[in-house]
């Protein structure tokens, strides 16, 4: 009334609610609520999407190159928003139907970022279904891990999954604090430390951006390995994952201690990449490889390795193991329809791993 008086108008247009269609009533209700109600971001984007739908139903959708009809431009003008904002909000409203988990996000911006990630993962997953890995997509080389990895191209790898030979040389008198204080160990231990350190740096170099690394270790080496990974540039979850060796009585038990029946491994990332299946526990229960089936003393069961590979890669991506040992990582990668590359320096293990890989194909 005041606005009309200030404009000098003597008549006000009136529309009787009883004369409106259900569509027109809904149109008025939503447009009014958008200007008055304190919506959540999800309610806001859904309301904007409904305004656009109603307007197109009432006036017909605009067709590019032809006059008339209703389009994003008209919806944006009616809501007082930019075309870009309205377009994004409508897409986000549709995304909620496909990905209900978006509703857990606190802000519209956070929901949009998560939607982009989810959409990318869906596209990659669909494309990966068409990928088929053949025998030519697996390679095991013999030689020093550092030198062999230097031959790999930078940012060419999708996952590193490895178990360095810590136990071979480091179990005797190893003390993390002493090492980082600059003390000198015997040549064998120092050489092992240096090799693992150099390999980790090479892992960072060859990994693509936003990719994972899994690395097994003994709890006694926790501090050293954590610092080494961070120094190389990795983002590390400082709470390690646990492989619980189900069905095993454990080792080194005596009257003063419990039997050891687990191994630890870090999940490290170059950048950030979501796990394919979120909300999984960090304890992985798998039985050990039966002694009569072992090729290598620290051989990991392929079901465990498959679980990690499937969590961190898509079919057709490249998985590498710089300390291949028995070749189990390469076998698991092939079983998951991933490409594989590995390196092993020991003649016996290299030969047995080759036989195991060929048998897997």
What tens digit of pLDDT does each residue of 273-304 get?
Answer: 999 988 899 999 999 998 888 888 889 999 99
**Four-CA torsion 140, 146, 150, 155, nearest 10 degrees:** 80
Q: Give me 131's structure tokens.
A: 């990928």
Find the angle CA(210)-CA(307)-CA(221) to the nearest 5 degrees.
70
More confident of the two residues 338 and 188: 338
- Which residues is 73 bridged to in the sheet? none
32 shares a domain with 170: no
Task: Please tell me the predicted confidence (pLDDT) of residue 361.
Answer: 57
Within this chain, do residues 170 and 314 fall inside the same structural domain, yes or no? Answer: yes
pLDDT for the residue numbered 186: 46
Residue 177's pLDDT is 37
**Is residue 8, in this structure, part of any structural domain at all?**
no
Same domain (yes/no): 146, 116: no
What average pLDDT does this structure show over 90-114? 93
* pLDDT at 266 (0 to 100): 97
User: What is the per-residue pLDDT for 259?
Assistant: 86
Q: Tell me which of 1-5, 144-148, 174-178, 316-320 is least confident.
A: 174-178
In a domain, 1, yes or no: no
Best-predicted range by mean pLDDT (11-20, 169-178, 286-295):
286-295
Same domain, 272 and 191: yes
Q: Which residue has the higher pLDDT, 353 or 207?
A: 207
Q: Is the pLDDT of residue 34 over 70?
A: no
Higher-pLDDT residue of 168, 176: 168
Q: Is there a single domain that holds both residue 187 and residue 75?
A: no
Whether residues 26 and 124 share a domain: the answer is yes
**Domain final residue, candidates 100, 128, 156:** 128
Does this model's pTM top 0.85? no
pLDDT above 60: residue 339: yes
The range of the structural domain enclosing residue 43 comes to 17-128
pLDDT value, residue 36: 66
- Sequence length of the chain is 361
Q: Which residue has the higher pLDDT, 346 or 68?
A: 346
Pairing of strands 262-270, 235-236: antiparallel
Of the three residues 128, 155, 183, the one that is the final residue of a domain is: 128
- pLDDT over threshold 80, residue 166: no
Q: What confidence tens digit (pLDDT) does each residue in 132-161 have?
A: 666 678 999 999 999 999 999 999 999 999
- In percent, the amount of the chain with pLDDT more than 70 equals 87
Q: Of 18-32, 210-224, 282-296, give the lowest mean pLDDT range.
A: 18-32
Do 121 and 139 lie in one domain? The reply is no
Does one domain contain both 74 and 141?
A: no
pLDDT at 176: 38
pLDDT band at 118; cut points 50, 70, 90: confident
9 lies in some domain: no
Which residues fall within 8 angstroms of residue 165, CB to CB, at 6 or more apart? Answer: 192, 196, 323
**CA–CA distance, 333 with 308 (Å, rounded to integer):** 10
Question: Is the per-residue pLDDT at 187 higher than 70?
Answer: no
Q: What is the mean pLDDT of the chain?
A: 85
Residue 140, beta-bridge partner list = 342
Answer with the one of 128, 151, 171 that is the final residue of a domain.
128
SS3 of the chain: the string is CHHHHHCCCCCCCCCCHHHCCHHHHHHHHHHHHHHHCCCCHHHHHHHHHHHHHHHHHHHCECCCCCCCCECHHHHHHHHCCCHHHHHHHHHHHHHHHHCHHHHHCCCHHHHHHHHHHHHHHHHHHHHHCCCCCCHHHEEEEECCHHHHHCCCCCCCEEEEEECCCHHHHHCCCCCHHHHHCCCCCCHHHHHHHHHHHHHHHHHHHHEEEEEEEEEEECHHHHHHHHHHHHHHCCEECCCCEEEEECCCCCECCECCECCECEEEEEEEEECCCCCCCCCCCCEEEECCCCHHHCCCCCCCCHHHHHHHHHHHCCCCCEEEECCCCCCHHHHHHHHCCCEEEEEECCHHHHHHHHHHHHHHC
Band of the pLDDT at 172, cuts 50, 70, 90? very low
> Has residue 175 got a pLDDT over 50?
no
pLDDT-derived band at 171, boundaries 50, 70, 90: very low
pLDDT for res 55: 82
- Domain membership of residue 11 (yes or no) is no
pLDDT in tens, 46-86: 888 888 888 888 778 776 656 678 888 888 888 888 999 99
CATH number assigned to the domain comprising residue 331? 3.40.50.150
Q: Per the domain annotation, does 226 fall within a domain? A: yes
Judged against a pLDDT cut of 60, whether residue 180 lies above it is answered with no
Q: Which two tokens stand for residue 36?
A: 């008055």
Check whether residue 158 and residue 306 sit in a common domain: yes
Q: What is the structure's pLDDT at 216? A: 96
pLDDT at 35: 66
Let me know if residue 224 belongs to a domain.
yes
Report the domain count for the chain.
2
Highest mean pLDDT among 121-130, 233-242, 247-256: 233-242
Query: How far apart are alpha carbons 269 and 94 in whole angstroms?
Result: 32
């Amino acid at each position: 009334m005041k606005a009309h008086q200030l404009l000098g108008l003597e008549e006000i247009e009136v529309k009787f609610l009883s004369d409106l269609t259900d569509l027109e009533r809904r149109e008025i209700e939503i447009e009014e609520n958008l200007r008055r109600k304190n919506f959540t971001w999800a309610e806001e984007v859904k309301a904007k999407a409904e305004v656009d739908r109603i307007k197109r139903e009432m006036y017909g959708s605009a067709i590019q190159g032809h006059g008339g009809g209703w389009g994003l431009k008209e919806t944006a003008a009616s809501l007082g928003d930019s075309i870009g904002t309205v377009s994004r909000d409508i897409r986000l409203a549709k995304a909620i139907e496909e990905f209900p988990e978006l509703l857990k996000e606190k802000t519209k911006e956070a929901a949009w970022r998560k939607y982009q990630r989810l959409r990318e993962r869906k596209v990659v997953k669909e494309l990966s279904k068409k990928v088929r890995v053949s025998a030519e997509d697996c390679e095991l080389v013999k030689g020093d891990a550092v030198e062999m990895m230097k031959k790999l191209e930078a940012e060419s790898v999708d996952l590193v999954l490895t178990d360095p030979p810590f136990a071979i040389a480091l179990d005797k008198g190893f003390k993390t604090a002493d090492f980082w204080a600059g003390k000198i160990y015997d040549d064998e231990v120092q050489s092992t430390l240096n090799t693992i350190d150099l390999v980790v740096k090479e892992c960072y170099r060859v990994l693509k951006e936003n990719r994972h690394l899994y690395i097994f270790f003994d709890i006694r080496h926790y501090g050293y390995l954590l610092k080494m990974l961070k120094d190389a540039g990795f983002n590390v979850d400082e709470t390690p994952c646990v492989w619980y060796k189900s069905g095993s009585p454990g080792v080194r038990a005596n009257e003063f201690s419990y039997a050891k029946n687990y191994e630890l491994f870090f999940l490290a990332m170059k950048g950030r990449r979501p796990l394919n299946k979120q909300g999984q526990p960090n304890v992985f229960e798998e039985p050990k490889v039966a002694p009569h089936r072992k090729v290598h003393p620290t051989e990991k069961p392929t079901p465990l390795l498959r679980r990690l590979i499937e969590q961190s890669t898509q079919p057709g991506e490249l998985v590498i193991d710089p300390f291949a040992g028995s070749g189990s990582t390469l076998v698991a990668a092939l079983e998951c329809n991933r490409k594989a590359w590995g390196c092993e320096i020991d003649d016996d293990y290299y030969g047995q791993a080759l036989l195991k890989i060929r048998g897997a194909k």
